[in-house]
Amino acid sequence: MSTPIVEINNVDFAYNRERILQDVNLDIRQGDFIAMIGPNGGGKTTLLKLILGLLKPEKGTIHVMGKSALKAAPGIGYVPQNVHINSSFPITALDVVLMGKLDPKRRWTRNSAADRREAIAALDRLQMAAHAENRISTLSGGQRQRVFIARALVTRPELLLLDEPTAGIDTKGQAEFFTLLKELNREITILVVSHDLLAISRHVKSVACVNRRLHYHNQAEITGEMLETMYSCTVEEVCPVELVAHGLPHRVLKEHQAFDIKRPTSNKVKK
- Among 39-43, 49-53, 164-168, which stretch is predicted with the lowest mean pLDDT? 164-168
Q: Which of 86-95, 111-120, 212-221, 240-249 has the highest mean pLDDT?
A: 111-120
One-letter-per-residue 3-state SS of 148-205: HHHHHHCCCCCEEEEECCCCCCCHHHHHHHHHHHHHHCCCCEEEEECCCHHHHCCCCC
Q: What is the pLDDT of residue 269?
A: 43
14 neighbors 20 (Cβ within 8 angstroms): yes
State pLDDT tens for residues 198-233: 667 778 888 888 888 888 877 545 555 555 545 455
Alpha-carbon torsion (28, 185, 224, 79), positive or negative? positive
Q: Where are the domains of the chain?
A: 4-258
CATH of region 4-258, choose from 3.30.590.10, 3.90.180.10, 3.40.50.300, 3.30.1020.10: 3.40.50.300
Contacts of 48 (CB under 8 A, 6+ apart): 36, 78, 161, 163, 191, 193
Q: What is the mean pLDDT of residues 178-192?
A: 90
Given a contact cutoff of 8 angstroms between Cβ atoms, the answer to whether 29 and 1 are in contact is: yes
Threshold 0.85, pTM exceeds: no
pLDDT per residue over 48-107, tens digit each?
A: 999 999 999 999 999 999 999 889 988 899 988 766 666 677 889 999 999 888 765 555
Stated length of the chain:
271
